[in-house]
Each structure stands twice: as structure tokens, then as C-alpha cells.
Amino acid sequence: MLRLMRIQIEQISPEVGAIDKNLALLRGYLTADADIILFPELCISGYPPEDLVLLPAFQEACRDAVLSLAAETKQGGAALMVGAPWAEDGKIYNATFLLADGGIAHRQYKHALPNYGVFDEARLFSAGALPKPFQFRNETFGLLICEDLWDQTVPVSLAGSSLVFSINASPYEVNKTALRRQRARHAAAQTGAPLIYVNQLCGQDDLVFDGGSFVLNAAGEEILTLPHFEVGSAVLAFSNSSLNVVPEHPMERGSGLRSPAGAQDRNDSAPPPETAIAVSDSLTNGELSYIYQAMMLALSAYVEKNHFPGVLIGLSGGIDSALSAAIAVDALGAERVQTVMLPSEFTSQESLEDAARCAEMLGCLYDIIPIDSARAAVTQELLPFFEGTKPGLAEENIQSRLRGLLLMALSNKYGKMVLSTGNKSEMAVGYATLYGDMCGGYNVLKDVYKSTVFELARWRNAHIPPAAKGGNAMAMPERVITKPPSAELRHDQKDEDSLPPYPVLDEILRHFIEGQMRPRDIIAKGFDEAAVRHIVQLVHRAEYKRRQSPPGVKIGTRPFSRDRRFPITNGFF
């Protein structure tokens, strides 16, 4: 009779640099009732370790952890497949090890090193040899380390394997779920073997890793899915190139979305379609759910891992700060979120009412600090220098900078991190004030266009996301979503006084930033030539501001961070 091999998937949350903590997490599985346990890429060091891997002390600590864990498998129990940076003969490799029977049963170095977008592994690691199938306990396995799956040549080299392991630390971005499956099905077809895809679940600075591990049979059919944005595990029975899910580990239970009383259930648990989302298309409810959960996880991880007691938000009565506050409450709990309204003479009564009502609905602390007297004092000091000039942007930005000063003072005094609230549309065209509304330690909306902010706000007012620490109610007054956006730095000011309507602006920006299209090609799509050229110039001129902005979670394909690095000074645009 053929012996069934039990293979366990662990979708865990390692922490970058916390080698002892990660090692303790892995040790907890040594006595598990499984033959092999699979963990995500570089789970001992955390991913991405960036320049930590260049430190000799870090390399030594990773080596010691691997060898220590290997020795502990001598007592029997499960074999562990773990990853760590590995220094050898003056080179550093992104390595994965199969630890069993007191030693290293198999060691493999990542062959395809990504060097695009957020990845710069080619600068840090040396490439390993093209992988080949390996033997373990009378079975033939193949191993793909993250980018190896996406390389067209690597999976073919594993033909002849009975089962392929794909070990990943794959960051979330819109529609990535569908693309992973497409690539995994192609790899399964190339190898002719079932494939187990394991991904990590954590937030790390501007990246969020969404989990969503899955299993394909040799025909490319999905037989198991672990949840997105939740730690998860599963056990599979393997024999003679056949995989079956062990009954006590069922298929994913759905997204876990809950709707507030009276809200319409719109089947958000359905996975996104396997088609690339066009730059001008609206997002599906399922993808809006993923985006919102990505922002929650990223913020929670950033606050917790950097030991902030909570966050501080300037609540203006507008949609950006309202959505940021909702995400913060859902991620951290209302007791850890403090909101502050900082009104001036230009703040409307509607905004005062909406900010107070928003804080009430979210259940978080709300304070008011008027800035009129401070603005008057600054204006008086500048009067000799501004006399005879027409009031304009300089006077308006005094308000924004005073708000930043006051929020940072509260942050310094009580330790809470200021959460800035600017969206990607504003960051793109420079409609954000340095040392003003750009003050902060993190920004969950940094990679979210204004039109998507509206979509997310409407979605959140109809649904409570999984694992949310917020209440079962709408997150903000409906008027926050429906009223025309305004910075309220002068009387009767509206964003559209100097910008195209946001749906138009954002489509131009998506073509230029994500699509990398030339202005003339955008104009050829029917957009106003003067508007396109003006927007492109604004994007170019605001590069210096973006360099000084706080980190924020990656949502799309080209956020303003490591994915898009343009010189501040250049004559091309």
C-alpha cells in the first residue's frame, strides 16, 4: 500500500530582522503531525530584509538560526522548509532549506532575482543555479522560490517532479490575486505536477503581504485556498502525484464580510475576475474589500512593530481624513485613534458638523483646536514682508503648516503617530503642503487616487471588513462623500477651481503614471491637450515634495516610492 505523505501549509507572519522571534515561531511546529511543513520565503529573516543582508552580523545570525533549527529536527517530527539569507564563498544567496533528521536534507538558492518595482534582489543576492527535482523520503519534489515561478525558463527545469512547492513573499497589489493563479497554472502545465503556493501574511513598511496561499492539482484546478489577510494553515495528503485536502482543513470560508443592518449584501466574497483592470475601470466590490484590508493590515503592522501607542489624525470634515480615520479605527480600535479638528475662519459649518459626527460614529476621541489666533499672530509677523502683495498661496499654506505644527506637537507630547491623509491624486499634482498636511509618520491613502477614495468610502459605509475592530455601523456621514471636495483655505474654495473633475484627472494620471504613456498619446485618447500638458508639468514639479512624504502602503503597480523613481531635476518632461 502506498504511504500517504502529510504536507502542511503555514501562512504565517514573520517580522523583518526579528530572527529570534521568527525562530521561536518556527520551533512551535517541530512536533506537528506532518511529514513536511512549508513556510513562506525568507521566513527566518523576514522579507524584504533589504540591506540587513549586507551586515556580517545579520548573515551570521541567520546561519546560526538555520543550523540550530536543523539540529532540533533530530528528535523526529516534521521536516521544515524554511528560508533565510545564506552567505557562502563571499556571496549571499536567497536560500530555502528542507530541514530534517537533524540536518539540511536539501538546500536551494533562488535562481531568478527580481530587479524591478519594489524588488532589488539583484543588488543584494547572487543567483543560484537552475533548480532541478530533488529526492526526499522516496518522493521527487521541485522547488520554486517566488520569482522562479514567474520566470518562463525555471519551472520547465522541474519537469519530472511529483509535486512542486512554490515558496513566496509576494506583496499585494490590485489584481495580483488573479495574476498569481494564472502564472501558477502555467507552471503546473510546464511541470505536469501539482503545485502548492505558499505566501506570507504581514505588513512591512510600504508593503503588505496578503497571504491567499492556494493549491493546484496537476490539471491546474484549484483544490484549496487559504484566506487573504488572515493567518492560515492547511494539511494535504500526498501520494503518487495526487493531492487531497485533509478534511479538518476545509476550503476558504469566504471573505468573512459582514454588512451593517439594512445594508445590501453585494457578494463581496467572490474573487476578482482574472482580467487586468483597465486604468479607467471601477473596481469590483471584492477588490475594494482587498484594498481596504491591505490598508488596515499595513497600518496595524506599522504601528505595532514600531511601538506607537496609537495614531493622531487631523479630521477636517472631508472624505480623505474621514476614510483614514475609519481605516485606523478598524485596524487599531477606537481607543487608539485620536482625531483633532483644527478650524479656521474658512472652515464651513458643514465641515464642523461632519467631523464631529464622523468621530462620534467611529467612537474615537475628538478634540477641537482653533487656529485663527495662531494664524493672526503669524500673519502679523509677516506683514512687513508681505505688505503690498496680493494674498494667495503663501497665506493659505500658513493654515496648513500651523495644523501640521499642532498635530506634531501633540504627537511629540503623547507619542501617538500622526497619520497624514493626502491621496495619490494630490500627491501626483503637488496639491499638498510640505510641513503642513504632509506631516506624519504614515499615510494609508498615499497610493489611492481620489476617485478610488470615493469608492472605498461608499464601500466602507455598506460593509464591515473582516477582523475590523470598528463598530457595526456606517463609518462617516453620507454628506462627507457627496459634498464637493475643498481644502477650505479660502472662502468658497473648491478643488475643481484649479483641477479637472477627479474622474478626469485620475484617468489622465493613471495613463501617465501607471500606463507610462506620453502626453501626446493621452491627448490622442480624447483628453483636452492643455489639461494633459498642465497635469504632466504638475506631476514633474511635485517630485521634490514626494521625496519628503511619509511612507504609505503600496496598492497599485506604480506607487510613489520604490516603484517610481524619477530625478527631481530633469529636462525631459
CA neighbor of 17 nearest in space, from 75, 56, 54, 58: 58
Is 41 a catalytic site residue? yes
- Options 146, 202, 358, 439, the catalytic residue: 146
Half-sphere exposure of 387 (CA within 13 A, CB side): 5
Residues 6 or more apart from 265 whose CB is under 8 A from it?
Answer: 259
Average pLDDT over the chain reads: 88
Q: What is the pTM of this model?
A: 0.88
Whether 48 contacts 201, CB under 8 Å? no
Contact between residue 117 and residue 555 where contact means Cβ atoms under 8 Å apart: no
What is the tens place of the pLDDT at every residue in 340-352? Answer: 999 998 888 999 9
pLDDT per position as a tens digit, 276-332: 333 335 778 889 999 999 999 999 999 999 999 999 999 999 999 999 999 999 999
**3-state SS class at 66:** helix
Q: Which three cell numbers stand for residue 157?
A: 527545469
Q: Does the annotation mark 110 as catalytic?
A: yes
pLDDT on residue 242: 75
Catalytic residue among 43, 110, 147, 287: 110
pLDDT, residue 258, reads 36
Residue 472 pLDDT level (bands cut at 50, 70, 90): low
Cα angle: 13, vertex 25, 415; to 5 degrees: 60
Summarised one tens digit per residue, pLDDT across range 396-453 is: 899 999 999 999 999 999 999 999 999 999 999 998 888 988 999 999 999 999 999 9
Which distant-in-sequence residues (6+ apart) come within 8 Å of 525 by Cβ? 511
Query: What's the rounded mean pLDDT across residues 470-486?
Result: 84
Q: What is the set of domains in the chain, with CATH numbers?
A: 7-245 (3.60.110.10), 285-495 (3.40.50.620)
Check if the beta carbon of residue 408 is closer than 8 Å to that of residue 436: no
How far is 407 from 369, CA to CA, in rounded Å? 10
- Per-residue confidence band for 496, with pLDDT thresholds at 50, 70 and 90: low
Which one from 10, 41, 139, 488 is the annotated catalytic residue?
A: 41
